[in-house]
Copies of this chain bind each other. A is one copy, B any other.
Amino acid sequence: MEAKNKLRMTKQRQVILEELRMVKTHPTADDMYQMLRKRMPKISLGTVYRNLEILSESGIIQKLDVGGTQKRFDGDTTIHSHVRCVACGRVGDIDVKPNCNLEAEAQKMTDYEIIRHRLEFAGLCPLCQQKRKATA
């Protein structure tokens, strides 16, 4: 729990990090598990969860808390926003850097001490737009 332990670079951890950085899909833990089994058939789901947790605590990857029930992970730790497809759940990146100083703005209106913010969009991904046209 504490960040005092030294991390070891195990095969599993390495592969998890590689795979996550290789995709731009913001996979869930289980998505990752499915991907990883192809390269490392004996890896366990528990190990995947543990490592994604550890890596995100260390700031090496990012844990996303976008809508939906499952957490998602992002190998890209630069500041950017996300779009979530309301139909299929897919999550994409958006490179919006809200110029307005939202946090200062918000700070004026609350007695919370603002630390950071999160901006997320919801919409329809290209695939689901097509599906909708087909149905209509």
Chain A contacts to B: CB under 8 angstroms: 65-68, 81, 83, 85-86, 92, 94-96, 98-100, 102-103, 105-106, 109-126, 129
CB-nearest residue of chain B to A85:
B112
Q: Could you tell me if A112 and B124 are in contact, using CB atoms closer than 8 angstroms? A: yes
Q: Could you tell me if B113 and A124 are in contact, using CB atoms closer than 8 angstroms? A: yes
Chain B's nearest CB lies how many Å from the CB of A65?
4
Number of this chain's copies in the complex = 2
Chain B's nearest CB lies how many Å from the CB of A9?
29
Distance in angstroms between the alpha carbons of A98 and B96 in the assembled complex: 14
CB-nearest residue of chain B to A84:
B112
Q: Could you tell me if A111 and B96 are in contact, using CB atoms closer than 8 angstroms? A: no
Distance in angstroms between the alpha carbons of A129 and B2 in the assembled complex: 21
